[in-house]
C-alpha cells in the first residue's frame, strides 16, 4: 500500500483550554487523574519509518496537544527534512520566544507550512483559545510571516467572532501572513453557545452529524482517502486517521483492543500499511461509525 503523507502527534501537551478540543473534552469526562502528558519518542519514530518519505506531506498537529511543546521538535523536523519530507505545523503559537521561532524557521524550507490557529483579533481570540498569549503569538507571526515558509492564519468562526473576520484578515496582513483561511467547524453539538448565527459559517457536515446522532446511517467522504492522514499518536500507536484515535472512538476500536499490532516500537510502517490495505479497500462499503460521524458526505 503506497501513501503520500503522515499525520504525527508529537505531544499531547498544551497550555490552552479550548472548549471544543478533544483534550478539554477528555479532562471534562475523565478528570485530571486519568491524564498523563506524553511526548512521542524520537528514536522510536525514526526506527518505525522504514519507507521512502520523499515529498511526503507530514502534518505535525494531533488531537490533544500542540506540537511546539515537544522538547525535541527541532530534532523531529531535521530528521523529516533530511528525508526530504514536506512539513506542515499546526499551532496556536503561544509561549515561545523570539530565539525559538528564529531557530524553527531556520530548519524549515519554502515548501513547508506553519498554520496559526487564531480565532479573532488580538483582543478577542482567547475567548476560545483560553490561556493563549498574544505577545508570544505575535513574535511567531512576525518571524514566520517574514520568512521563506508558507504562513497561514486559520480562523474558526464562532458566535463571538463572526463579525471580526475582515478585521482579523487585515491584522494578518500586518504580519505579512499571505494566507488567511476560514475553517468551518462541525463540533458545535458539544457547545451550542459558540455556534455562529450565520449558518454559512458552520461546516455543512454539521447537519449530517445531527442525522448520525439520531441513529441514522449517513454516506461518507473519508478524508483519509487522500493517503496523507495515516496517524501516529503521541503515545506511539498507529490509526488510519486522527479521528480514529480520538478517545470517544479509540477505546471501542480494534486499534486499541489489539494495540500491540499498531505499536510503533514493535512494528514497522511498511508492515502496518500492508496490514491496513483491506481496511481502506472496504471503507466506502463498511462505513465505520467513526467515519460517518467525522467525514459525512455533503
Per-residue pLDDT at 76: 97
Q: What is the pLDDT of residues 212-255, one digit of tens each?
A: 878 788 899 999 988 999 999 999 999 999 999 999 999 999 99
Per-residue pLDDT at 34: 84
Assigned C-alpha cell, 218: 449517513
- Point out the least confidently predicted range of 46-50, 55-59, 157-161, 217-221: 217-221
Following CA atoms 184, 23, 116, 82 in sequence, which dihedral angle do they give, to the nearest 10 degrees? -120
Residue 213 phi/psi, 5-degree rounding, is -65, -20
Q: Are strands 86-91 and 113-117 parallel, antiparallel or unpaired?
A: parallel
Question: By the 8 A CB rule, do 11 and 39 touch?
Answer: yes
Rg (CA), the chain: 19
C-alpha of 208 from chain center: 22
Strand-pair partners of 174? none
**How many other C-beta atoms can be found within 10 angstroms of the C-beta atom of residue 281?**
11
Residue 149 phi/psi, 5-degree rounding, is -75, 150
Per-residue pLDDT at 186: 83
Q: Nearest to residue 292, comparing CAs of 190, 230, 212? A: 212
Walk me through the domains of the chain, giving residue ranges and CATH numbers: 5-202+226-274 (3.20.20.70)
Mean per-residue pLDDT, 110-137: 97
| Angle between helical axes of 134-145 and 98-106 (0-180°, round to 10) | 30
Question: By the 8 A CB rule, do 293 and 254 touch?
Answer: no
Question: By the 8 A CB rule, do 12 and 37 touch?
Answer: yes
Question: By the 8 A CB rule, do 61 and 67 touch?
Answer: yes
Amino acid at each position: 500500500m503506497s501513501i503520500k503523507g503522515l499525520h504525527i502527534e508529537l505531544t499531547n501537551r498544551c497550555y490552552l483550554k479550548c472548549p471544543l478540543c478533544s483534550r478539554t473534552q477528555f479532562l471534562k469526562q475523565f478528570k485530571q487523574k486519568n491524564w498523563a502528558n506524553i511526548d512521542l519518542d524520537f528514536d522510536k519514530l525514526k526506527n518505525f519509518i522504514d519507507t521512502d518519505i520523499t515529498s511526503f506531506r507530514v502534518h505535525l498537529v494531533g488531537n490533544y496537544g500542540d506540537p511546539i511543546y515537544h522538547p525535541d521538535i527541532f530534532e523531529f523536523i531535521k530528521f523529516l527534512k533530511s528525508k526530504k519530507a514536506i512539513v506542515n505545523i499546526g499551532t496556536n503559537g503561544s509561549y515561545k520566544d523570539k530565539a525559538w521561532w528564529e531557530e524553527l524557521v531556520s530548519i524549515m524550507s519554502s515548501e513547508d507550512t506553519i498554520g496559526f490557529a487564531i480565532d479573532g483579533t488580538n483582543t478577542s481570540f482567547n475567548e476560545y483559545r483560553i490561556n493563549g498569549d498574544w505577545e508570544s503569538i505575535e513574535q511567531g507571526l512576525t518571524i514566520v510571516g517574514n520568512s521563506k515558509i508558507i504562513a497561514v492564519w486559520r480562523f474558526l468562526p464562532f458566535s463571538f467572532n463572526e463579525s471580526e473576520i475582515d478585521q482579523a484578515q487585515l491584522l494578518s496582513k500586518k504580519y505579512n501572513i499571505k494566507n488567511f483561511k476560514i475553517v468551518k467547524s462541525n463540533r458545535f453539538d458539544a457547545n451550542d453557545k459558540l455556534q455562529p448565527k450565520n449558518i454559512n459559517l458552520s461546516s455543512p457536515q454539521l447537519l449530517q452529524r445531527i442525522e448520525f446522532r439520531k441513529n441514522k446511517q449517513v454516506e461518507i467522504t473519508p478524508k483519509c482517502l487522500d493517503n496523507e492522514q495515516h496517524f501516529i499518536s503521541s503515545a506511539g500507536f498507529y490509526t488510519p486517521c486522527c479521528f480514529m484515535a480520538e478517545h470517544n472512538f479509540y477505546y471501542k476500536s480494534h486499534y486499541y483492543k489489539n494495540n500491540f499490532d499498531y505499536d510503533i516500537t514493535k512494528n514497522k510502517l511498511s508492515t502496518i500499511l500492508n496490514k491496513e490495505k483491506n481496511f481502506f479497500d472496504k471503507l466506502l462499503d463498511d462505513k465505520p461509525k467513526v467515519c460517518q460521524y467525522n467525514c459525512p458526505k455533503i
